[in-house]
Amino acid sequence: MAIFTLGPEGTYSSQIALEYFSDSTIKYLDSISEVFTMVNKKRNAYGIIPLENMIEGSVRETLDLLYETDAKIIDIINLPIHHCLCAQSKNFEIITSHPQALAQCKKYLQKNYKKKLTQSAKSTAQAALQASEYSQYAAISSKFAAEKYNLTILDENIEDFQGNITKFAVIGKQFSANYQITSIALTPTNQDQPGLLLKMLYPFQENKINLTKLESRPQKEQLDNYIFYIDFEGDPKQAKVRKTFTYLEKDLKICDIKVLGGKAID
Protein backbone atom coordinates (compact mmCIF):
# COMPACT_ATOMS: atom_id res chain seq x y z
CA MET A 1 0.00 0.00 0.00
CA ALA A 2 1.37 3.40 -1.05
CA ILE A 3 0.60 6.53 1.00
CA PHE A 4 1.21 9.98 -0.48
CA THR A 5 1.00 13.38 1.16
CA LEU A 6 2.47 16.86 1.12
CA GLY A 7 6.11 17.05 2.06
CA PRO A 8 8.67 17.38 3.31
CA GLU A 9 8.20 15.43 6.51
CA GLY A 10 6.70 17.62 9.20
CA THR A 11 3.64 18.99 7.43
CA TYR A 12 0.29 18.84 9.16
CA SER A 13 -0.75 16.45 6.38
CA SER A 14 2.13 14.15 7.29
CA GLN A 15 0.99 14.09 10.94
CA ILE A 16 -2.41 12.83 9.83
CA ALA A 17 -0.79 10.30 7.50
CA LEU A 18 1.42 8.90 10.26
CA GLU A 19 -1.60 8.50 12.56
CA TYR A 20 -4.08 7.16 10.01
CA PHE A 21 -1.62 4.81 8.26
CA SER A 22 0.70 4.04 11.17
CA ASP A 23 2.09 0.82 9.67
CA SER A 24 2.78 2.18 6.18
CA THR A 25 5.61 4.04 4.50
CA ILE A 26 4.72 7.65 3.75
CA LYS A 27 5.91 9.20 0.50
CA TYR A 28 6.21 12.97 0.40
CA LEU A 29 5.33 15.08 -2.62
CA ASP A 30 5.57 18.78 -3.46
CA SER A 31 1.94 19.65 -4.22
CA ILE A 32 -1.69 18.64 -3.79
CA SER A 33 -1.97 17.96 -7.52
CA GLU A 34 0.91 15.47 -7.34
CA VAL A 35 -0.85 13.61 -4.52
CA PHE A 36 -3.97 13.29 -6.68
CA THR A 37 -1.87 12.17 -9.67
CA MET A 38 -0.19 9.37 -7.73
CA VAL A 39 -3.42 8.19 -6.09
CA ASN A 40 -5.07 7.94 -9.51
CA LYS A 41 -2.00 6.35 -11.10
CA LYS A 42 -0.90 3.75 -8.55
CA ARG A 43 -2.67 0.58 -7.44
CA ASN A 44 -3.75 0.44 -3.81
CA ALA A 45 -2.69 4.05 -3.22
CA TYR A 46 -4.04 6.60 -0.75
CA GLY A 47 -3.41 10.27 -0.14
CA ILE A 48 -3.80 12.81 2.63
CA ILE A 49 -4.58 16.37 1.57
CA PRO A 50 -5.96 19.50 3.29
CA LEU A 51 -9.65 20.07 2.59
CA GLU A 52 -10.87 23.02 4.66
CA ASN A 53 -9.70 25.35 7.40
CA MET A 54 -12.14 27.00 9.78
CA ILE A 55 -10.44 30.40 9.30
CA GLU A 56 -9.54 30.44 5.61
CA GLY A 57 -12.26 28.12 4.29
CA SER A 58 -11.98 25.44 1.61
CA VAL A 59 -8.73 24.63 -0.14
CA ARG A 60 -9.73 25.54 -3.69
CA GLU A 61 -7.21 23.29 -5.41
CA THR A 62 -8.51 20.29 -3.48
CA LEU A 63 -12.13 20.99 -4.46
CA ASP A 64 -11.20 21.41 -8.11
CA LEU A 65 -9.21 18.17 -8.22
CA LEU A 66 -11.93 16.19 -6.46
CA TYR A 67 -14.28 17.30 -9.21
CA GLU A 68 -11.83 16.82 -12.09
CA THR A 69 -10.31 13.44 -11.14
CA ASP A 70 -11.54 10.00 -10.11
CA ALA A 71 -10.15 10.19 -6.57
CA LYS A 72 -12.72 9.74 -3.79
CA ILE A 73 -12.79 11.03 -0.23
CA ILE A 74 -12.82 7.89 1.87
CA ASP A 75 -12.67 9.70 5.20
CA ILE A 76 -12.24 13.12 6.79
CA ILE A 77 -10.02 13.81 9.80
CA ASN A 78 -10.09 16.99 11.90
CA LEU A 79 -6.77 18.26 13.24
CA PRO A 80 -6.35 21.17 15.68
CA ILE A 81 -3.82 23.56 14.14
CA HIS A 82 -1.36 25.38 16.37
CA HIS A 83 1.29 27.41 14.58
CA CYS A 84 4.61 28.47 16.00
CA LEU A 85 7.23 30.94 14.82
CA CYS A 86 10.62 29.26 14.57
CA ALA A 87 14.08 30.16 13.30
CA GLN A 88 17.77 29.60 13.94
CA SER A 89 17.77 32.78 16.05
CA LYS A 90 15.88 36.03 16.56
CA ASN A 91 18.01 37.68 13.88
CA PHE A 92 15.88 36.83 10.85
CA GLU A 93 14.69 39.04 7.98
CA ILE A 94 11.94 37.07 6.21
CA ILE A 95 9.00 35.05 7.54
CA THR A 96 7.97 32.20 5.28
CA SER A 97 5.16 29.63 5.30
CA HIS A 98 2.30 28.16 3.30
CA PRO A 99 -0.15 30.92 2.22
CA GLN A 100 -2.91 29.44 4.39
CA ALA A 101 -0.69 29.51 7.48
CA LEU A 102 0.38 33.09 6.77
CA ALA A 103 -3.27 34.07 6.46
CA GLN A 104 -4.19 32.27 9.69
CA CYS A 105 -1.55 34.34 11.53
CA LYS A 106 -2.21 37.64 9.77
CA LYS A 107 -3.13 39.66 12.86
CA TYR A 108 -0.19 38.27 14.81
CA LEU A 109 2.23 39.21 12.04
CA GLN A 110 0.80 42.71 11.68
CA LYS A 111 1.07 43.32 15.40
CA ASN A 112 4.52 41.85 16.02
CA TYR A 113 6.40 41.76 12.72
CA LYS A 114 4.85 44.46 10.57
CA LYS A 115 8.21 45.48 9.09
CA LYS A 116 9.32 41.94 8.24
CA LEU A 117 8.92 40.57 4.74
CA THR A 118 6.72 37.51 4.23
CA GLN A 119 7.22 34.84 1.61
CA SER A 120 5.08 31.90 0.48
CA ALA A 121 6.31 28.31 0.69
CA LYS A 122 4.85 25.07 -0.68
CA SER A 123 4.12 23.83 2.84
CA THR A 124 4.71 24.73 6.47
CA ALA A 125 7.35 22.00 6.69
CA GLN A 126 9.08 23.31 3.56
CA ALA A 127 9.23 26.68 5.31
CA ALA A 128 10.78 25.09 8.40
CA LEU A 129 13.33 23.26 6.24
CA GLN A 130 14.22 26.54 4.52
CA ALA A 131 14.64 28.28 7.88
CA SER A 132 16.97 25.49 9.01
CA GLU A 133 19.16 26.05 5.94
CA TYR A 134 19.19 29.85 5.81
CA SER A 135 19.50 32.01 8.93
CA GLN A 136 17.70 35.00 7.38
CA TYR A 137 14.43 33.02 7.35
CA ALA A 138 11.92 32.34 10.10
CA ALA A 139 9.08 29.89 9.52
CA ILE A 140 5.50 29.54 10.61
CA SER A 141 5.04 25.81 11.10
CA SER A 142 3.94 23.16 13.55
CA LYS A 143 5.94 22.52 16.69
CA PHE A 144 6.54 19.05 15.26
CA ALA A 145 8.28 20.51 12.17
CA ALA A 146 10.27 23.04 14.21
CA GLU A 147 11.66 20.29 16.42
CA LYS A 148 12.36 18.00 13.47
CA TYR A 149 14.49 20.65 11.76
CA ASN A 150 16.22 21.72 15.01
CA LEU A 151 14.83 25.24 15.03
CA THR A 152 14.37 27.51 18.01
CA ILE A 153 10.70 28.12 18.78
CA LEU A 154 10.35 31.88 19.22
CA ASP A 155 6.61 31.91 19.90
CA GLU A 156 3.80 29.35 20.09
CA ASN A 157 0.06 29.32 19.32
CA ILE A 158 0.34 32.37 17.09
CA GLU A 159 -2.79 31.65 15.05
CA ASP A 160 -5.29 34.52 15.16
CA PHE A 161 -8.19 32.39 16.39
CA GLN A 162 -8.02 29.81 19.14
CA GLY A 163 -9.63 26.49 18.30
CA ASN A 164 -8.22 26.63 14.76
CA ILE A 165 -9.03 23.32 13.03
CA THR A 166 -8.28 21.99 9.56
CA LYS A 167 -10.17 19.16 7.88
CA PHE A 168 -7.97 16.70 6.01
CA ALA A 169 -9.29 14.31 3.39
CA VAL A 170 -8.10 10.74 3.04
CA ILE A 171 -8.45 10.00 -0.68
CA GLY A 172 -8.39 6.75 -2.63
CA LYS A 173 -9.96 5.05 -5.63
CA GLN A 174 -12.94 3.45 -3.88
CA PHE A 175 -15.73 4.85 -1.73
CA SER A 176 -16.01 3.86 1.92
CA ALA A 177 -18.74 1.40 2.86
CA ASN A 178 -20.87 3.98 4.70
CA TYR A 179 -20.75 7.73 5.20
CA GLN A 180 -22.15 9.87 7.99
CA ILE A 181 -21.40 13.04 5.99
CA THR A 182 -21.41 12.94 2.18
CA SER A 183 -19.86 15.51 -0.16
CA ILE A 184 -21.25 16.05 -3.65
CA ALA A 185 -20.78 18.44 -6.57
CA LEU A 186 -23.82 19.68 -8.47
CA THR A 187 -23.25 20.92 -12.03
CA PRO A 188 -26.33 22.68 -13.47
CA THR A 189 -27.27 21.69 -17.01
CA ASN A 190 -28.65 25.18 -17.64
CA GLN A 191 -27.44 27.94 -15.34
CA ASP A 192 -29.45 30.71 -17.00
CA GLN A 193 -32.76 30.21 -15.19
CA PRO A 194 -34.41 32.00 -12.26
CA GLY A 195 -34.50 30.16 -8.94
CA LEU A 196 -31.99 27.51 -10.00
CA LEU A 197 -30.31 27.21 -6.60
CA LEU A 198 -33.67 27.04 -4.85
CA LYS A 199 -34.78 24.24 -7.20
CA MET A 200 -31.62 22.27 -6.45
CA LEU A 201 -31.94 22.70 -2.69
CA TYR A 202 -35.67 22.10 -2.34
CA PRO A 203 -35.62 18.26 -2.63
CA PHE A 204 -33.09 18.07 0.21
CA GLN A 205 -35.55 19.89 2.45
CA GLU A 206 -38.46 17.84 1.16
CA ASN A 207 -36.66 14.59 2.01
CA LYS A 208 -35.44 15.92 5.38
CA ILE A 209 -31.75 15.80 4.50
CA ASN A 210 -29.72 18.20 6.62
CA LEU A 211 -27.14 20.24 4.68
CA THR A 212 -23.94 21.09 6.53
CA LYS A 213 -22.15 23.03 3.80
CA LEU A 214 -22.88 24.89 0.56
CA GLU A 215 -20.41 26.77 -1.61
CA SER A 216 -19.71 27.41 -5.27
CA ARG A 217 -16.65 27.31 -7.49
CA PRO A 218 -16.41 28.63 -11.05
CA GLN A 219 -16.49 26.14 -13.89
CA LYS A 220 -13.33 26.46 -15.94
CA GLU A 221 -15.02 25.99 -19.29
CA GLN A 222 -17.25 29.07 -19.27
CA LEU A 223 -17.37 32.38 -17.41
CA ASP A 224 -20.27 32.88 -14.95
CA ASN A 225 -20.99 29.12 -14.76
CA TYR A 226 -20.59 27.51 -11.35
CA ILE A 227 -20.27 24.14 -9.65
CA PHE A 228 -22.10 23.87 -6.32
CA TYR A 229 -20.46 21.84 -3.57
CA ILE A 230 -22.77 20.45 -0.89
CA ASP A 231 -22.14 18.40 2.25
CA PHE A 232 -25.09 16.67 3.88
CA GLU A 233 -25.79 14.25 6.69
CA GLY A 234 -26.39 10.80 5.25
CA ASP A 235 -25.12 8.18 2.82
CA PRO A 236 -25.73 7.95 -0.97
CA LYS A 237 -27.20 4.47 -0.50
CA GLN A 238 -30.04 5.68 1.72
CA ALA A 239 -33.46 5.67 0.08
CA LYS A 240 -34.15 9.34 0.74
CA VAL A 241 -30.80 10.33 -0.77
CA ARG A 242 -31.33 8.17 -3.88
CA LYS A 243 -34.79 9.71 -4.24
CA THR A 244 -33.30 13.22 -4.06
CA PHE A 245 -30.62 12.45 -6.64
CA THR A 246 -33.13 10.86 -9.03
CA TYR A 247 -35.47 13.83 -8.73
CA LEU A 248 -32.71 16.32 -9.53
CA GLU A 249 -30.98 14.40 -12.33
CA LYS A 250 -33.81 12.50 -14.06
CA ASP A 251 -37.09 14.18 -13.12
CA LEU A 252 -36.14 17.85 -13.14
CA LYS A 253 -33.02 17.29 -15.29
CA ILE A 254 -31.48 20.45 -13.92
CA CYS A 255 -28.07 19.18 -12.81
CA ASP A 256 -25.52 16.39 -12.87
CA ILE A 257 -24.36 15.02 -9.52
CA LYS A 258 -20.92 13.73 -8.69
CA VAL A 259 -20.45 12.03 -5.32
CA LEU A 260 -17.03 13.05 -3.98
CA GLY A 261 -17.04 10.86 -0.85
CA GLY A 262 -17.13 12.16 2.70
CA LYS A 263 -16.65 11.33 6.36
CA ALA A 264 -16.93 7.62 7.02
CA ILE A 265 -18.94 6.19 9.88
CA ASP A 266 -16.57 5.24 12.69
Q: pLDDT tens string for the chain (266 positions)?
A: 899 999 899 999 999 998 899 888 899 999 999 999 999 999 899 999 999 998 889 999 999 999 999 999 999 999 999 999 999 999 999 999 999 999 999 999 999 999 999 999 989 999 999 999 999 999 999 999 999 999 999 999 999 998 899 999 999 999 999 999 999 999 999 877 889 999 999 999 999 999 999 999 998 877 788 999 999 999 999 999 999 999 999 999 999 999 999 999 98
- List, by residue range, all CATH 3.40.190.10 domains of the chain: 2-81+164-172, 84-156
Which fold would CATH assign to domain 180-264?
A: Alpha-Beta Plaits (3.30.70)
For residue 94, count other CB atoms closer than 10 A to its CB: 16
d(CA 237, CA 180): 11
- CATH architecture label of 84-156: 3-Layer(aba) Sandwich (3.40)
- Mean pLDDT, all residues of the chain: 94
pTM to 2 decimal places: 0.90
- List, by residue range, all CATH 3.30.70.260 domains of the chain: 180-264
Cα 265 from chain centre: 19
- Output the CA–CA distances (angstroms, integers) from residue 215 to 108, 227, 259, in the order listed: 28, 8, 15
* 2-81+164-172 belongs to CATH 3.40.190.10: yes
Q: Which pLDDT value is given to residue 207?
A: 97
- Output the CA–CA distances (angstroms, integers) from residue 148 to 59, 135, 152, 154, in the order listed: 26, 16, 11, 15
Q: Is 264 helix (H, G, I), strand (E, B) or coil?
A: strand
